[in-house]
Amino acid sequence: MRSFRLARHHIHAAPRARRSVEQTKVVFVNRFFFPDESATSQMLSDVAFALAKQGFDVHVVTSRLDYSDPLVRRPASEEIHGVTVHRVWTSRLGGSSLLGRAIDYLTFYLNAAAALVRTLSYGDVLVAKTDPPLISVVGALACRVRQARLVTWLQDLYPEVPRAAGVRFASGWLWQIASMARNWSLRVACANVAIGDSMRSYLTQLGRPAQHLTVIHNWADGESIQPMEAGSSPLRREWGLDGRFIVEYSGNLGRVHDYQTLLDVATELRVDERVVFLFAGQGHGFRRLREEAAQRGLSNVMFRPPQPRERLGQLLTLGDVHLVTLAPGMGPFVLPSKLYGVLAAGRPVLFVGGADSEIPAILDALHCGSAVESGDVHGLAQAIRALAADAGLRRRLGANARHAFEQHFSKRAALDAWRRVIQAAHAPEAVRSIGQPLSV
């Protein structure tokens, strides 16, 4: 059996005194924050609100943008659930234009840098995520100016992601400069948090000391997302899907995902009237998938926009089986956060991607799904047919999925791990040990 590892965090305090929780100031920087419902915003919001509830002085430097609605403009400053939010102006030229997106990033870098210098003080902890890419470099510079401490939260690895995706300009001297800047920010950070073991292994190969690297997997809200009997989701009736076997993809479908294999398997199974493919979300891949599905005349493919967070439980329990994809070559750099919501919903997972991802090992070790290589349309079709024909198999895999979620990917465990990382970052004299990985 293949295995995967989950990091445990053991933090041993040195005898010297350190700040109390009430004196602990934590600043996060990310382009999106609550009430935005993008994945990075939801993870950040969960951590920020939990820390504020525990008595930390929490600030967030973010933009006034909304990921889903470009017309939304949020207030420059506000307090939400005890978190002080500083929203900076950014341009909004992006969309599908790489140049426009680069300008958007640049305006955020500049204004976020100014806001960080104003907000940070001596000894504060700054947690820099990866939206926009390389924001940890801006954070490292601000920490140098204000003598604060940097923690990087590596949701994705840049500049590796655009290079692996074949994005223009993501190579040569520009890539080298970006890599050197990013690596410098990792070196000066007191802790680097990766979201998977493959990512941590890659960073170790780059020369990051193991004691400065830890893994905290992303999570889902297991209270709001509860397993539900197949066919019980109200969305089945609302969307006219009663009696169908639903193969669902929920969330962002971007450049890092494999949509071509999904399109081809829908084409192969178009003659099976039981099976319908439901895509609920947004992203670059969604537009292309919708266009090509229309060109092929695929009546077994349905599209729905992103659903509000309060309907997420209904959406994730709508499908009989869920698809998770990742383009080959992306394994060490991206770990789709949609996986955790599917596990919380108690649904089997079919992964489509490369062998460099750790998801096949997770599914194998926890007995909650299976994986096929990108391009293996026949293998994916067989896996879908097998699940469609065997309700007992679906129930067993779904029960295993929920059990795995509760044991390894719960929101409570992740938030507790983040609290300990923040406390350790406030005590640079402390001996911090990541501890031994847990084999499953």
Task: Output the domain CATH number for residue 296.
Answer: 3.40.50.2000
Asked whether residue 362 is assigned to any structural domain, the reply reads yes
Number of domains in the chain: 2
pLDDT given for residue 13 in this prediction:
35
Question: Picking from 144-153, 226-235, 344-353, 411-420, which range would have the lowest pLDDT averaged per residue?
Answer: 226-235
198 and 267 together in one domain: no
Asked whether residue 166 is assigned to any structural domain, the reply reads yes
DSSP class of residue 212 equals G
Q: Model confidence at 207, in pLDDT bands (50, 70, 90)?
A: confident
205 and 273 together in one domain: no
Residue of higher predicted confidence among 17 and 125: 125
pLDDT given for residue 18 in this prediction:
45
285 pLDDT exceeds 90?
no
Show the tokens assigned to 255: 């450049």
For 362-370, what is the mean pLDDT? Answer: 95
294 and 206 together in one domain: no
pLDDT given for residue 66 in this prediction:
83
268 and 149 together in one domain: no
* Residue 94 burial by Cβ neighbours in a 10 Å radius (0-12, 13-18, 19+): middle
Q: Model confidence at 17, in pLDDT bands (50, 70, 90)?
A: very low
Structural domain of 155? 5-219+410-434
Instruction: With residue 295 as reference, give the H or E element that holds it.
Output: helix 284-296
Residue 242 CB neighbour total at 10 angstroms: 8
* Residue 356 burial by Cβ neighbours in a 10 Å radius (0-12, 13-18, 19+): middle
For 373-400, what is the mean pLDDT? Answer: 96
345 and 331 together in one domain: yes
Asked whether residue 189 is assigned to any structural domain, the reply reads yes
161 and 293 together in one domain: no
Q: How far apart are CA 20 and CA 35, in angstroms?
A: 29
Q: How far apart are the first and last CA of the chain?
A: 10
122 and 39 together in one domain: yes
273 and 415 together in one domain: no
168 pLDDT exceeds 90?
no
Q: What share of the chain is helix, strand, coil (3-state, %, to 5)?
A: 40, 20, 40
For 38-58, what is the mean pLDDT? Answer: 94
Q: How far apart are CA 105 and CA 137, in angstroms?
A: 13
Asked whether residue 227 is assigned to any structural domain, the reply reads no
170 and 305 together in one domain: no
Asked whether residue 228 is assigned to any structural domain, the reply reads no
Asked whether residue 440 is assigned to any structural domain, the reply reads no
201 and 240 together in one domain: no
| Dihedral sign (CA 200, 203, 205, 207) | negative
pLDDT given for residue 336 in this prediction:
93
pLDDT given for residue 291 in this prediction:
93
123 and 70 together in one domain: yes
Q: Phi then psi for 162, rounded to 5 degrees?
A: -65, -30
Show the tokens assigned to 381: 């079709």
Asked whether residue 414 is assigned to any structural domain, the reply reads yes
Q: How far apart are CA 378 and CA 66, in angstroms?
A: 39
126 and 183 together in one domain: yes
259 pLDDT exceeds 50?
yes
Spatial neighbors of 157 by CB under 8 A, at least 6 apart, are 130, 199, 202, 203, 332, 333, 334
Q: Model confidence at 72, in pLDDT bands (50, 70, 90)?
A: confident
Which strands sit side by side in the sheet containing 321-325, from one edge to the other?
Answer: 301-304, 275-282, 245-252, 321-325, 349-353, 369-373
If you average pLDDT over every residue of the chain, what do you get? Answer: 88
SS (H, E, C) 35-53: CCCCHHHHHHHHHHHHHHH
Q: Which residue, 371, 434, 299, 429, is CA-closest to 13?
A: 429
